[in-house]
Amino acid sequence: MTQAFWTFIALVSHWRRHPVNFGALFVGLAIATALWSGVQALNEHARASYDRAASIFGAGGARSIVPTRGGSVSQDLFVKLRLAGWKVSPVLEGTVRIHGKRFRLIGIEPVTLPREAGVAVVAGEGALGAFLKPPGRMIVTPETLRELSAAESVAIVIDGGKTLPPIEALAAALPGALVVDIGVAQAVLNRPEQISRLIFKEPPSAVAPPLATVAGDALRLVPPREEESDIRRLTESFHLNLTAFGLLACLVGFFIVHAAFGLAFEQRLAMVRTMRAVGVSARTLIVAMLGELALLALVAGSAGVGAGYLLAAALLPDMAASLDGLYGARVAGQLALDPMWWISGLGIAVIGSLVAAGGGLFKAFYLPVLMAAQPFAWRQVQQKFLWRRSVLGALGIAAFLVAHFYGKGLYAAFGMIAGLLLGAALLLPLLLDGVLRLGEKYASQPLAQWFWADCRQQLPGLSLALMALLLALSTNVGVGAMVEGFRKTFTQWLDERLVAEVYFEVAGNAETQQIEAWLEKRPEVSAILPMSKIKIRLGGWPVDIVGMKPHETYRNHFPMLSETGDAWGELQRGEGALVSEQLARRLDLALGSTLDVPAADGQWRVRIAGIFPDYGNPKGQLRIDIDRLMRLWPETPRMGYSLRTAPKAVPELIDALQTEFGQQISQISDQAAIKNLSMRIFERTFAVTAALNLLTLLVAGIALLANFLTLGNVRLAQLAPVWAVGVSRMRLAQLEFLRVLLLAAVTSAFALPLGLALAWQLVAVVNVQAFGWRLPFHVFPAQLGQTVALALLTAAAAAIWPIIRFVRITPAALAKVFANER
Amino acid sequence: MAGETRASLLRVAGLKKSFTTPQGRLAILKGVDLELDVGSSLALMGESGSGKSTLLHLIAGLDDADEGEIFLDDVAVTRLPDFGRAALRRETLAVVFQQFNLIPSLTIRANVAFQARLAGRLDPVWREELVGRLGLENLMERYPEQLSGGQQQRVAIARALAPRPRLLLADEPTGNLDEATADDFIKLTTEVVAATGCAFLMITHSKRLAARLERQVTLSSGVIKEL
């Protein structure tokens, strides 16, 4: 124990004398942990929110009965079921807008509601009385209260003019939801006597007839966890993408740890030899090194986990907005994490450090004592690993090819990317060595010959940092090209899809005829395009069936990926349907395929007449003629309208509509506002990715800086002989700078094709697997140029300080190198 | 010392060691026999490449012999595992190298105490005495790089003797020192070694310095010859 302790003290004393190297190692480890735990914090937090949302009706074994065809049904069915012995409680769900923001409104009946249901937040007789007695109560979480910009006991007026009951904030309430009495909800949502769900806990009495006997096919029993798995399944791809980027950034961070610890080991070779010579056994040395590593991992890991929390808190609003915008999944705005998250963050730091430094420890254990006495024995050994590394690289590429040809699913797609990136990174030293050999071969001047040879000599020490740079740059190119390509495609798609000048939603079904009649009389309105929507399940997936009018506007502009010769004619005749790309992929539908759709009066068989892109929509969509939809599902209300009019008539038309119909119109916007909103959701969706991308590059820059600093003293011994034979310090500094730029430029030259391959993987494989849509592949030359510039800038920024240190060194200090020569 | 009988401390018998070179196996030690008594001193001389350092490394348990035996205090060094050899270096013998091999990140005070602490037998009184005898009092809070070569070698001796080893091995300890500093160093070392009663085996190229020790042997053609 004494031996291990004093060996540990001697090892640790190295860092006191090399604080910058320690800083690089500490920061590398902390950043790796922060990026990983930050991303995990976001995922965990979001999943916890989904679970909470899903358990709102299903907790404690409570079950739900919902309308088979979505929407709502008459509350008479509730009465019938109660009378038949089903102890059900009615719920009405809907959406209200407050200051333009969407909120989920849930109306409950607290007396019959099973106490186990998560939505049963009204407890105690006093609370129950206040909830039921006018003006009632609206239960929200404290976070939702902040989102509403309101105070407790305040009665909020929703967009459209109706007033909600006074607010009461409860921590146990559902994030993003407003819980009110069902009567209030029916009035506010303008759905009198309607219910959207029935909840029950106790099984129906033995004499109670089956559900179908009481309600026909109007209601269905929701299988346990169906709703939870829906949101989980829809958002899984989003979280997997996030995890993949977090993992990549974390990997780059551990490259720093690997490089820094390896270099520190090299620096401490003499010390290791001395310790071995004075009686420290290999076992004690390894124990002390492990202790040092574990302590470092715990301290830096704690800092990393803390930084990860801050990172997650900073990125949470963007992620929450993306999840809300894309999937309608509400995520609580305040990070609340399980203690296991903190422990697992530290675990990652410790395990990652052991793996990153483990190879070095293993080699240290088997390195003969006398071998350790030779300077750079580590590097000599490392040279032998060059080929082994290349073989591993080739295996990585082989894994990529196997996954490419035989893999299926999103995990295979990510496996493919991992194989490609790691394989290429491991092959980088060999490729760089080849390029530098060529340079050396064609150099004729002695200084140039030395320069190329010196670059090659530096390769083993710098290879890990350059590999990290390669990974960061290729990710930058790949993700950048994917996001830019997506932006370009998305913008074009929005332009084609949103051709109408005015869009509005209606609050209820009753007034739509009046509204249509009023619009028909308006001379400035050239086309009224109504839209209805019904939710069903196809092949286990939630699907929206949208009814639309096959008007010229759509015939000329609606973007399609493929269509039959008479797609719109088929649609109009009720024979054909248009299917979204993601639904076509999920259900394996092609043009001309037939699809059986469960309708109100049995199965409806329809032919696929067209496949259209539907970017950003996690749900599948089937578009059919609106009249056909009304015949198949007669109860379906009109959801909204698109209006064609002259652009200059838009403001006046919107004003007139609002004046005439007031709260009957729940949401009205012009084309520009909708495009703006869509682009905003798009930008926020990729904000997290962009932040991780930038951080990964920053980590690579730190890896380079750490390497340059750690190699600083070694470099002095290598440069001093060249200086001694008459090359000035300034010239040597220039050559040092050139060397760094050269290595960064060659690395970025490899990063560009690798990044483009990654971009192709992302758009053609990952997006298809994750979201169900395939994007066109674009190459952006300006972006590639920008990446090369970024690489050079990163390398130059990392190299500048060590070079300035070298320029400032006194001749006496340089001469000292020879004084210490052995 | 003549006529005085001292027990044997180190016994090397039939020691052989060869290395692989591009030209094939090269035998360095071809059957070395050597004995060293408790408290005695011996200078090992020989041409460069004759195998002096190899012999010292084998005695210190830093390398493995091909054949032969090394007994230190009747312990067969050649048969010990790494852990046992490390214990031997820690507790029974000490090595001083030409390159001093101090731990650069520790102060002189910590360096001097290092091996004794490892052995679990740091005696502060003895350490202070050593520091005083070797003239290191004013250097204790400095780092190795701030010391001259002669000063660093004195620190190395202090570190080696702090745990009171039975045998001190020195591999050309004066190789990096000028003549006057080397003389000084040998004088101090022999005095301190004599005070501890430990045996002293020193590799040197200098006949003048070798003459300051009790016995002189040379390693030539892989075997030991008395001078």
Tens digits of residue pLDDT in A166-178:
998 887 777 778 8
Cis omega (within 30 of 0) on the bond before A368?
no
Structure tokens belonging to residue A300: 């830096």
pLDDT per position as a tens digit, A510-550? 478 888 899 999 999 999 999 988 888 888 778 889 999 99
pLDDT at position A817 over 90: no
Average pLDDT over residues A674-688: 73
Is the Cβ pair A370, B63 closer than 8 Å? yes
Q: What is the pLDDT of residue A821?
A: 38
Contacts of B95 in chain A (CB under 8 A): 277-278
Structure tokens belonging to residue A18: 């090399």
How far B81 CA sits from the closest chain A CA (Å)? Answer: 10
How far A282 CA sits from the closest chain B CA (Å)? Answer: 7
How far B105 CA sits from the closest chain A CA (Å)? Answer: 5
- Asked if residue B100 is part of any domain, the answer here is yes
A191-195 — which CB contacts under 8 Å span 24+ positions? A191/A72, A191/A92, A191/A94, A191/A508, A193/A74, A193/A75, A193/A76, A194/A72, A194/A73, A194/A74, A194/A75, A194/A92, A195/A72, A195/A73, A195/A74, A195/A75, A195/A77, A195/A78, A195/A90, A195/A91, A195/A92
Structure tokens belonging to residue A538: 């196809």
Q: What is the pLDDT of residue A71?
A: 67
pLDDT at position A277 over 90: no
Do the beta carbons of residue A284 and residue B95 sit within 8 Å? no
- Asked if residue B187 is part of any domain, the answer here is yes
Confidence band, pLDDT 50/70/90 cuts, at residue B5: low
Is the Cβ pair A2, B120 closer than 8 Å? yes
Q: Is A713 in CB contact (< 8 Å) with chain B? A: no
Is the Cβ pair B103, A276 closer than 8 Å? no
Among A6, A276, A283, the residue with its CB nearest the CB of B117 is A6
pLDDT per position as a tens digit, A284-293? 888 898 888 8
Is the Cβ pair A17, B110 closer than 8 Å? no
- Strands in B41-45's sheet, in edge-to-edge order, are B93-96, B167-171, B199-203, B41-45, B215-220, B223-226
pLDDT at position A624 over 90: yes
Do the beta carbons of residue A708 and residue A799 sit within 8 Å? yes
Average pLDDT over residues B150-163: 89
Average pLDDT over residues B144-161: 88
Report the 10 Å Cβ neighbour count for B68.
Answer: 17
Q: What is the pLDDT of residue A172?
A: 74
Interface test with A, best of B85, B103, B109, B147 (most A CBs within 10 A): B103
What's the number of domains chain B is made of?
A: 1
Among A3, A271, A368, the residue with its CB nearest the CB of B118 is A3
CA A352 – CA A364 distance, rounded (Å): 19
Average pLDDT over residues B82-97: 86
CA A537 – CA B22 distance, rounded (Å): 76
Is the Cβ pair A270, B104 closer than 8 Å? yes
Is the Cβ pair A369, B62 closer than 8 Å? yes
pLDDT per position as a tens digit, A93-141? 887 878 777 788 889 888 888 776 666 666 555 677 788 888 888 988 8
pLDDT per position as a tens digit, B115-126? 888 888 889 999
Share of chain A above pLDDT 90, in %: 12
**Average per-residue pLDDT for chain B:** 88
Q: What secondary structure letter does DSSP report for A158?
A: P
> Nearest-CA residue of chain A relative to B60?
A277
| The most confident of A99-103, A238-242, A366-370, A447-451, by mean pLDDT | A447-451
Q: Is A19 in CB contact (< 8 Å) with chain B? A: no
Is the Cβ pair B106, A13 closer than 8 Å? yes
Give chain B's end-to-end CA distance (angstroms, integer): 18
Q: What is the pLDDT of residue A626?
A: 93
Q: Which residues of B touch A (CB under 8 A)?
A: 57, 60, 62-63, 82-83, 85-91, 94-95, 97, 99, 101-106, 110, 114-115, 117-120, 143, 159-160, 176
Among B97, B102, B118, the residue with its CB nearest the CB of A279 is B118
CA B9 – CA B192 distance, rounded (Å): 19
Q: What is the pLDDT of residue A24?
A: 76
Confidence band, pLDDT 50/70/90 cuts, at residue A462: confident
Report the 10 Å Cβ neighbour count for A135.
Answer: 12
Is the Cβ pair B82, A283 closer than 8 Å? yes
Is the Cβ pair A279, B63 closer than 8 Å? no
Among B94, B105, B117, the residue with its CB nearest the CB of A2 is B117
Contacts of B90 in chain A (CB under 8 A): 3, 278-280
Contacts of A14 in chain B (CB under 8 A): 105
CA B31 – CA B15 distance, rounded (Å): 5
CA angle, residues A805, A807, A813, in degrees to nearest 5: 80
Judged by DSSP in three states, B198 sits in coil
- Asked if residue B213 is part of any domain, the answer here is yes
HSE on the CB side for A715, CA within 13 Å? 26
Is the Cβ pair A281, B83 closer than 8 Å? yes
Helices (H), A367-409: 369-372, 377-406
Contacts of A369 in chain B (CB under 8 A): 62-63
pLDDT at position A151 over 60: yes
CA A596 – CA A608 distance, rounded (Å): 11
Q: What is the pLDDT of residue A594?
A: 92
Bigger pLDDT: A720 vs A65: A65
Chain A, 268 to 307: residues with Cβ < 8 Å from chain B are 270-271, 273-284
Rg (alpha carbons) of chain B, rounded to whole number: 17
| The most confident of A410-419, A703-712, B12-21, by mean pLDDT | B12-21
Share of chain A above pLDDT 70, in %: 84
CATH assignment of the domain containing B160 = 3.40.50.300
Bigger pLDDT: B203 vs A769: B203
Confidence band, pLDDT 50/70/90 cuts, at residue A56: low
DSSP string, A167-221: EEE-TTSPTTEEEEEHHHHHHHTT-TTEESEEEE-SPPPTTPPPHHHHHTTSEEE
Domain interval for residue B48: 38-61+82-226
Is the Cβ pair A822, B99 closer than 8 Å? yes
Q: What is the pLDDT of residue A215?
A: 76
pLDDT per position as a tens digit, A163-210? 899 998 887 777 778 889 999 988 888 788 888 888 887 777 777 788
> Nearest-CA residue of chain B relative to A8?
B118
pLDDT per position as a tens digit, A337-379? 677 778 888 888 888 888 877 776 776 676 666 654 444 444 4
Q: Is A370 in CB contact (< 8 Å) with chain B? A: yes
Is the Cβ pair B143, A17 closer than 8 Å? yes
Is the Cβ pair B115, A278 closer than 8 Å? yes
Contacts of A2 in chain B (CB under 8 A): 117-118, 120
DSSP string, A297-343: HHHHHHHHHHHHHHHHHHHHHHHHHHHHHHH-----SS----HHHHH
Cβ pairs bridging A and B (under 8 Å): 85
Structure tokens belonging to residue A797: 């920024």
Confidence band, pLDDT 50/70/90 cuts, at residue A453: confident
CA A674 – CA A678 distance, rounded (Å): 6
pLDDT at position B1 over 80: no
CA A467 – CA A700 distance, rounded (Å): 9
